[in-house]
Amino acid sequence: MPPKSATKKARQHKVNYGDLSSAAYEYKKGGKQSSKIPAGYTVDHSLSDQESQVYVHKENKHVIHAVRGTANAGDVVTDGHLLAGNLQNTARYKKESDKMKKIHAKY
C-alpha cells in the first residue's frame, strides 16, 4: 500500500492505482502507451520493463512506480517467498529496490 502522502498526492492528480496496475500487465517497452494511464502521465521507458513501470507527471513532479503482480511461473516462486516472509531475499525484490533507488536519484 502506498504511503498516505503518496495517496493524497495521487488523489490530487486523480490517479487510479488500479488502472496503473492493469497497465503494468500490458506494458511493452517502446510500445503503445495504455489508455489506462491518467492524463498528463507518461512512461519513463528508461526505468520501465515488463515487471514494473515508472509513470511521471512532469508538470506536477509526481512519480509512480507500478509493480506488476503475478503473471508467470517466476512470479509464483516470488509469491511463495512472500507467503513465507522471505520476500526481501528474492531477485525480484532486489531488482525493484534497486529501481527505486534509481527513481529517487533521477526525480
Q: Name the residue with cell 504511503.
A: 3
pLDDT tens column, 87-104: 999 999 999 999 999 999
pLDDT tens column, 61-91: 899 999 888 888 988 999 999 999 999 999 9
Q: Are 39 and 29 in contact (CB under 8 A)?
A: no
What is the C-alpha separation between 95 and 25, in angstroms, rounded? 18
Average pLDDT over residues 23-34: 74
How much is the pTM?
Answer: 0.76
pLDDT tens column, 32-59: 677 788 888 989 999 999 899 999 998 9
Q: Identify the DSSP state of 71.
A: -
Between these two residues, 28 and 36, which has the higher pLDDT value?
36
DSSP assignment of 11-65 equals: HHTT--HHHHHHHHHH--TTSPPPTTSPTT-EE-TTT--SSEEEEEETTTTEEEE
